[in-house]
Structure formats: structure tokens, C-alpha cells
Amino acid sequence: MWCLAALTAEDIRRSRWVSPPLTNGRIFMRKFLSSAALAVVMMAGFGSAHAADVKEVQMLHWWTSGGEAAALNVLKQDLAKEGFAWKDVPVAGGGGDAAMTALKAMVAAGTYPTASQMLGYTVLDYAQAGVMGDLTETAKKEGWDKSVPAALQKFSVYDGKWVAAPVNVHSVNWLWINKSVMDKIGGTQPKTFDDLIALLDKAKAAGVIPLALGGQNWQEATMFDSIVLSTGGPEFYKKAFNDLDEESLKSDTMKKSFDNLAKIIKYVDPNFSGRDWNLATAMVIKGDALVQVMGDWAKGEFVAAKKKPNTDFLCYRFPGTDGSVVYNSDMFGMFNVPDDRKAAQVALAKATLSKSFQSAFNVVKGSVPARTDVSDKDFDACGKKGIADLKAANEGGTLFGSLAQGYGAPPAIANAYKDVVSKFVHGQIKTSDEAVTQLVQAIDDAR
Ligand code: BGC
């Protein structure tokens, strides 16, 4: 079991986990790690000697909800079959902010896990800092260059080397709706943003909480990604949230997006502040709320609760975003671990990208495979739609990285974005004019 503890300099000196001195990434690393928490994560058994390969995988992740834990079990079982023990390093907190703080502290202390769950630009940051391993040999043997979509390779390959194994592709522009509540209020699929507002009004009139949301900055920003895509269209989303084009960021369309956010936020219940995303999903599952706007990890919760699409729940693209996919992908970032831990790392990477795992895991997780050659036959209707949508968006040039989910811009910019959206939601920023001004300023400062 892993524990949080203060690590002394002597612990670090004696540790066989100390990283090799950083070379070209050194200055960057100092800057990158400057905000690391003082507490560091350390492993029990730290410093013990191993003569042969260590048959154990340590994994840092934030998959602690019911659906997430069920999905992770698929991996644990696959690795157990190959004789690898699992050392779990869970750091609760949807979206992974807390996990990434813990990871920073571990890396600062030189105590790398075998792998860590990471999102796009974070992988690149660690790769640039020179602390990632190199899976290129395995990637070549396994043919990942051909099976993993280019959009993911942009984040899993750094400087020609494979540094991460993509686990899945999630997308954020979804509505998750309780079917019996929908039937009760006589609702139909909303095709436009205004339709959605009308639907929320119906739920309100029927005494049901219209919108299930957790008032945490990453959830609010994840929803806002969809609103921006719906309000401005695909070109606008790309320019504003992937290219960070200043004209788009300060445009009237961005103001209108904030106005739309102000409209939709009126439909949450008074207790939404701080609520975890999976509790918001549970409100929809139980029929206490009509809809949640969330990435398809929400579907993992429906699956864990044995609910079926089109019978118990409905999955629609956020109105006005059909044809586009705003994605993120969980990656297992692979650190430059000592030689006796490399075999376990390779086993983990191979298991992660095997076709059977890609199907079994993603069926449970709510995401879709990170390979283009996995059959959709075991996926439910929402999963099949997710796979087809991803293919079409990839081919049609309408696949965009989620800014809220680490695929639009580096973490400092994403954090600035989440902060502004959250201040707007919670009333610290009062108008959409002010929100736009602060967004441009915050992104500028973070660049
Ligand atoms: C991850 C998902 C996870 C979700 C909620 C996202 O950032 O990509 O895998 O389920 O956060 O924790």
C-alpha cells in the first residue's frame, strides 16, 4: 500500500528510485516542479533491493468511482494472469487535478510510479522534462504506429519516442438523460441549445432537478467546452480552444457562449457546489435529475448500475454539436524506471494496447478504443455511436482536443480557463463581457 509521508533528503539519497540527473530538461523541470506540494508520496518497502525483475506494476490514477474502479479491474486481472502484482496509487478527485499534484511531488522526489494516468499536454510536459521512459521498441513490435490514431500519437510520442500508452478515447460533448424522467415530462431529443433550455424548463415544471452538475471547476469547464462548440461551431471551437486565437477568445461569439452558460446554470439545484461528478451522475441514474452534461465516463456509472441505453438512459450529443467530437484520452505515461522495473512496464503497455483489453476495458469505462482496428460488437448503443462519431470526426476534420480535459492547451492555460469559467458560474465574475476579458488575460498570463 502506498502512503502519504514527508520524505527526508536521506530517504531520497538512499532510494534506488532516484532519477538519473536531468539533462536538457533540467531548467524546465525546476520551473515545472516549483509548485509541487511539500508532502510527497512514498511507497512502503521503499529502498529494498531486488535482484531480478520486479513483477509488479505501480499505477497512479484517479479512477475511484464505481464505474472507473470496475474498468481498472479489467487491467488488474489481465496483468495478474501474466503474473504481475498491482500496486494501486489512487488519488481521488475527478478530472485528475489532485492526482497530478501528487504525481508532481513523487517526481520531484525521484519516486516514479511504473506509470501514471495522464492527459495529453501533461504527458508532453513530463517528456520535455526528461523523466519519461522509452517504449519505442515495444511500439514497433506491436505496430502501434499503424493502429493508434494520429491525434493520440501527437501526445504519446515525444521527440520520436513512445512515452505513453493511450488507454481510450473519451469525448465530452454528450448529454446523459434519465429515460423515465424524459418520458414522464414528454421530452424529445433537443436539437438546438434553445431546445435544451425548453427541455430543462419542462423538467423544472415537473418538479425534477433539470441539470445535474457538480460545482467543481473542471466539471463546469467540461460542460462549457460543449457550450462553446454548440454556440460557435467547429471552426470557432478549434480557433479559440486549440489554436488560442485571441480574436476568437475575445469575440462576441465567446461572449454569447458565456451568456449561454449563464442560461443553463440556472437549472442546477442549490447544493451543486463541490459535488463530485459521479454523484451528479447518480442523480440522473436515480431519476432525481433529468440530465448531466459530461464526458462519457458518466456512462461507466450507468453501466456499473446495470442500466441500459435507450431503456434506462439516453445518450445524445450536446445539441448543436452533432458531427464534431471534443475528445480527451487517458494515457498511461511511462516513467524512466530502473532497469528491473522495465519488464513490468512493457507488460503493462502491451496489455493496455491489446485489442482484447481495448474492447473489454472501454465497454466498462464508457470510452471507446484508442486503436482504430477494434470491433464495436461488444459495445452498447452509446459505445457504438461513440466509435462511429470518432471515426467520422477524425476523417472529417471535426475532432478537437478538449481544453478542459488537457487536450486543447498546456496545463497552465487549461487551469486558467477552468478558473475563469468557475468564477463566472459562482458569481465572482458577473458579466460575459468581464468573463471574456478575464479569459483573454488569464490565458495570456499563462502562455
Ligand atoms: C478522465 C476519465 C475520468 C474522469 C473523471 C477524466 O479526466 O479522462 O477517465 O473518468 O476524468 O474522473
Residue with cell 524512466: 336
pLDDT of residue 355: 98
Ligand 1: residue whose CA is nearest its atom 12 = 94
pLDDT of residue 361: 98
Q: How far is the CA of 237 from the centre of ligand 1 (A)?
A: 21
Q: State the angle between helix axes of 217-237 and 411-425 in degrees (0 to 180), rounded to the nearest 10.
A: 110
Cell of 258: 458565456
| Ligand 1 binding residues, C-beta < 6 A | 62, 68, 94-96, 119, 170, 277, 297, 328, 330, 405
- C-alpha dist (Å) from residue 44 to 4, 15, 64, 87, 283: 10, 12, 21, 10, 38
- C-alpha dist (Å) from residue 278 to 138, 150, 375, 404: 36, 31, 28, 17
Q: How far is the CA of 10 from the centre of ligand 1 (A)?
A: 36
Q: How far is the CA of 21 from the centre of ligand 1 (A)?
A: 32
- Name the DSSP letter for residue 238: I
Percentage, residues of the chain above pLDDT 90 = 88
pLDDT of residue 37: 39
CB within 8 A of 70, min separation 6: which ones? 300, 303, 304, 364
List pLDDT tens digits, range 267-324: 999 999 999 999 999 999 999 999 999 999 999 999 999 999 999 999 999 999 999 9
pLDDT of residue 199: 98
**Ligand 1 atom closest to 328 (CA):** 8
Q: Which of 211, 155, 193 has its CA nearest to residue 327?
A: 155
Report the pLDDT averaged over residues 430-445: 98
User: Is the pLDDT at 49 greater than 60, yes or no?
Assistant: no
Long-range contacts of residues 122-125, Cβ cutoff 8 Å, at least 24 apart: 122/333, 122/406, 122/411, 123/155, 123/156, 123/158, 123/163, 123/164, 123/331, 123/333, 124/155, 124/158, 124/410, 125/32, 125/410, 125/411
Number of H helices, E strands in the chain: 20, 16
Distance CA 141, CA 391 (A): 25
List pLDDT tens digits, range 230-266: 999 999 999 999 999 999 999 999 999 999 999 999 9
User: Is the pLDDT at 386 greater than 60, yes or no?
Assistant: yes
User: Is the pLDDT at 33 greater than 80, yes or no?
Assistant: no
Distance CA 385, CA 329 (A): 17
Q: How confident is the model at residue 25 (pLDDT cuts 50, 70, 90)?
A: very low
Q: How confident is the model at residue 438 (pLDDT cuts 50, 70, 90)?
A: very high
Distance CA 425, CA 88 (A): 35
Count the alpha carbons within 13 Å of 437 in the hemisphere toward its beta carbon. 6
417 contacts 403 by C-beta, under 8 angstroms: yes
170 contacts 329 by C-beta, under 8 angstroms: yes
Ligand 1: residue whose CA is nearest its atom 6 = 95
Residue-averaged pLDDT of the chain:
91
Distance CA 245, CA 241 (A): 8
**Ligand 1 atom closest to 170 (CA):** 8
Q: Which of 192, 189, 181, 193 has its CA nearest to residue 262?
A: 193
pLDDT of residue 41: 39
pLDDT of residue 76: 97
List pLDDT tens digits, range 114-142: 999 999 999 999 999 999 999 999 999 99
Q: Give strand ranges (E) for 152-191.
A: 157-158, 161-162, 164-166, 170-171, 174-178
> Which residue from 62, 167, 327, 403 has its CB within 8 A of the most atoms of ligand 1, so it is best to mutate?
62
Q: How far is the CA of 277 from the centre of ligand 1 (A)?
A: 10
139 contacts 145 by C-beta, under 8 angstroms: yes
Q: How far is the CA of 77 from the centre of ligand 1 (A)?
A: 21
Report all structural domains of the chain as residue ranges with CATH numbers, in order of start.
Answer: 4-170+330-390 (3.40.190.10), 171-327+400-446 (3.40.190.10)
pLDDT of residue 39: 38
pLDDT of residue 211: 99
Ligand 1: residue whose CA is nearest its atom 8 = 330
List pLDDT tens digits, range 77-96: 999 999 999 999 999 999 99
Distance CA 74, CA 29 (A): 34
> Which residue from 59, 63, 168, 296 has its CB within 8 A of the most atoms of ligand 1, so it is best to mutate?
63
**Rounded (to 5) percent helix, strand, coil in the chain:** 50, 15, 35
φ/ψ of 204, rounded to 5, equals -60, -45
User: Is the pLDDT at 6 greater than 50, yes or no?
Assistant: no
CA–chain centroid gap for 287, Å, is 26
pLDDT of residue 51: 55
163 contacts 320 by C-beta, under 8 angstroms: no
Cell of 380: 452498447
